[in-house]
Structure 1
Amino acid sequence: MTPVQTQPRPADPATVPLTGAESAGGTDASGPQVRDDMTVELALSVMSGSGAGHLFLCDEDDQCTGLITRARLIAVREGPAYTDQVRLRDVLALTR
């Protein structure tokens, strides 16, 4: 087994709306992009598979509308109101 060296990261906001070049498809919006109708469980699976700490959310017109972190999704999943039907757009609605 190969040891992995980790580096501390600055705390990410749980959910961040995109502005400017990010929402226009600029270089700042790099990383996995998913639709906002994806479930929390599937989003966490995508994050695990890609090794990403966040996902960029896109609406039905494939326009990036925000990003969400793994920490926020885990917090939602551990919350009392969580069901396996909770969608990423529901998580965004809770934080606006």
Structure 2
Amino acid sequence: MTLVQMQPHPAGSATRTVVSAMDAPGPQVWDDMTVEVALSVMAGAHARHLLVIDEDGRCTGLITQAQLTGVRDSSAYTDRVRLRDILGDAGPFPSPVTTMVEAEHAMRYLQLGSLPVVDEHGCAVGVLTLSR
């Protein structure tokens, strides 16, 4: 692994963890939910994203309204498309003890605005969002 040279941060920021900056997890939905139902849940919850979980309650990803409407508006869309079909391989996710420097670097590298934070069992405990 190659280390990435980063600009200096104020004292203490290198050890600050994501738990200090994450938001509550918000609405969680099963990965077998259809796109239309997920959009309805999102609208009803007035949420900007949904955390997607598998049958074991482990977080498999985070999906936004823009992603859902993009899929729904595509020519390949059918009413049988499930969230698991559009998420792909989203992990691994940061844990609450991941440093902010590490998480921010990963999010910028992967071009992600938001990222689930999971515990040692893979269950979502929060969401980390980059400020633009």
TM-score (norm 1): 0.67
In structure 1, the partner of 2:72 is: 77
User: Highest Rg: 1 or 2?
Assistant: 2
Q: CA deviation at 1:93?
A: 2.8
State the partner residue of 1:42.
37
- Deviations along 1:64-89, one digit per CA (max 9) or x if unpaired, are 11100000000000001000110000
**Cα separation, partners in 2 of 1:34 and 1:48, compared to 1, 3 Å:** same
Identity %: 61
The 1:88–1:69 alpha-carbon spacing in structure 2 relative to 1, beyond 3 Å, is same
Which 5+ residue runs of structure 1 have no aligned equivalent?
A: 1-20
CA pair 42-36 structure 1, distance change in 2 beyond 3 A? same
* Segments ≥4 residues shifted beyond 4 Å: none
The residue matched to 2:55 in structure 1 has which SS? coil
State the partner residue of 1:51: 46
Gapped runs of 5+ residues in structure 2? 1-17, 92-132
RMSD: 2.4
| Whole-angstrom distance in 2 between the partners of 1:54 and 1:92 | 13
